[in-house]
Structure 1
Amino acid sequence: MPLVRVTNFSISLDGFGAGEPQSFESPFGHAGHRLHEWMFATWADGAPTGIDAVWASRWDTGVGAEIMGAHKFGPPGWQDDPDWRGWWGEDPPFHTPTFVLTHRTREPLEMEGGTTFHFLSTGPEEALAIAQEAAGDLDVRIGGGASTVRAFVSAGLVDHLHLVVVPIVLGHGTRLWDGLEGLEETYAIESVASPSGVVHLSLDRRPGG
């Protein structure tokens, strides 16, 4: 049965998925690229084949659609720029229908490589229904940022989360955990430490959760 999942989502020790303020020059605010250095290392020539590489390789396995928040698609104010086409160039890495949650919609944006951005002004349940129809028999990935992941988890819509805890403290930004008290009652949680210093958390919805 297709799943709704979060994959390779990095957070700091204090639970922030991005720093602030976000801008065109600083997509992750004061966090810079520190939350994602573990993943960048797996892309390098001669990269290790350890646990980080295994998790990183699962990012797009079996995924038929993605849902992301407005701040993942662009910096504040991108809705006012009709020429803004996302951070990723003309061939974004998604290669699936990708649904951007925004209060200001626009026409679908077809990119190279099979990615088409669709802009929705809906709540999590309706957005997920649309994405699941597009994904067919494949999974739907909730791509972030932290507030979007939190909204879908709070609504009881996520089956599996893979979170990567990076050993840095950000102090402020967009925090994942707010309002998710008692999450361990809904999800079975396993953790594996990597030699790189990150900790991979795997959360699977408990039966009846």
Structure 2
Amino acid sequence: MSDVRVHNFSISLDGFATGAGQSADAPFGHAGERLHEWMFTTRFWHEMGGGREGGTGADHAFAAMHSAGIGAEIMGAGKFGPPGWQDDPDYKGAWGPNPPFHTPVFVLTHRPRPSIEMEGGTTYHFLDASPAEALKKAREAADGKDVRLGGGATMIRDFVAEGLVDHMHLVQVPIVLGRGVRIWDGLEAIEDVYDIEAVSTPSGVTHLTFTAKRR
């Protein structure tokens, strides 16, 4: 069976994956871009835009695992767009006409709408479904490849709590946000079900990888 993976998911030292006050102009609230600055200097980030600049060190190596073998993505409503996007019937996501996913993407929302086919192989499907139900549909669409969970924190937390995540890569950034949406709430004793490794890099971030223990 295909794996369920999380990649390049940045959190603060106090576990927040986004700040407070999200809006169209501030997708990560008061955190701004501080959670993701580590990625902007990598070759992976520049290659996403068609360039060849950027470093090829450890941060790049972790970041580049993001897309290999992925056949579908699941994301929460908060990643797809800012608060209130459901009220705009013409809204098509935050990534323009050619989103970077290039696979079927399943958006979890309590207000589903018809699927939207974008350029480059991305098709958005909107589901009001439980994690297990959404994963079943995503696995069918992935056709044997892995399924990536794109975020946000609430959605990933729900999938982890139900034992559905095989591999999780979190990037701990040395800032304290104090408020926002946390990844860890309700996930006590996560070390009992995952093998955890930590790798720190010169950029100051720590890459945390969680691999499900096989029973």
TM, length-normalised to structure 1: 0.98
Counterpart Cα distance in 2 of 1:170 and 1:134: 37
Give the equivalent residue in structure 2 for 1:200.
Answer: 207
Q: Which amino acid aligns with 1:98?
A: V
For the residue of structure 2 that corresponds to 1:34, the secondary structure is coil
Answering whether residue 159 of structure 2 is matched by residue 144 of structure 1, we say no
Counterpart Cα distance in 1 of 2:27 and 2:41: 19
Counterpart Cα distance in 2 of 1:189 and 1:16: 19
Counterpart Cα distance in 1 of 2:146 and 2:73: 9
For the residue of structure 2 that corresponds to 1:58, the secondary structure is helix
For the residue of structure 2 that corresponds to 1:113, the secondary structure is helix
Answering whether residue 62 of structure 2 is matched by residue 55 of structure 1, we say yes
Give the equivalent residue in structure 1 for 2:131.
Answer: 124
Runs of 4+ aligned structure 1 residues displaced above 4 Å come to: none
Counterpart Cα distance in 1 of 2:133 and 2:25: 33
Q: Which amino acid aligns with 2:32?
A: G
What is the Cα deviation at residue 46 of structure 1? Answer: 3.3
For the residue of structure 2 that corresponds to 1:35, the secondary structure is coil
Structure 2: 5+ residue runs without aligned partners? 47-51
Aligned positions, number:
208
Counterpart Cα distance in 2 of 1:46 and 1:144: 27
For the residue of structure 1 that corresponds to 2:211, the secondary structure is strand
What is the Cα deviation at residue 154 of structure 1? Answer: 0.4
Counterpart Cα distance in 1 of 2:56 and 2:5: 23
Answering whether residue 155 of structure 2 is matched by residue 113 of structure 1, we say no
What is the Cα deviation at residue 41 of structure 1? Answer: 1.2
Give the equivalent residue in structure 1 for 2:189.
Answer: 182
The equivalent position to 1:172 in structure 2, one of 162, 167, 179, is: 179
Answering whether residue 12 of structure 2 is matched by residue 12 of structure 1, we say yes
Give the equivalent residue in structure 2 for 1:86.
Answer: 93
Identical residues among aligned pairs (%): 63
Counterpart Cα distance in 2 of 1:165 and 1:159: 19
Q: Which amino acid aligns with 1:11?
A: I
Give the equivalent residue in structure 2 for 1:25.
Answer: 25
Answering whether residue 110 of structure 2 is matched by residue 100 of structure 1, we say no
Counterpart Cα distance in 2 of 1:62 and 1:122: 25
The equivalent position to 1:134 in structure 2, one of 132, 141, 150, is: 141
Counterpart Cα distance in 2 of 1:116 and 1:25: 25
Counterpart Cα distance in 2 of 1:90 and 1:58: 24
Counterpart Cα distance in 2 of 1:20 and 1:152: 23
Counterpart Cα distance in 1 of 2:146 and 2:214: 19
Q: Which amino acid aligns with 1:116?
A: T
Q: Deviation per CA, 1:66-111, whole angstroms, max 9, x where unpaired?
A: 0000000011110010111111000000000000000000000100
What is the Cα deviation at residue 205 of structure 1? Answer: 0.4
For the residue of structure 2 that corresponds to 1:140, the secondary structure is strand
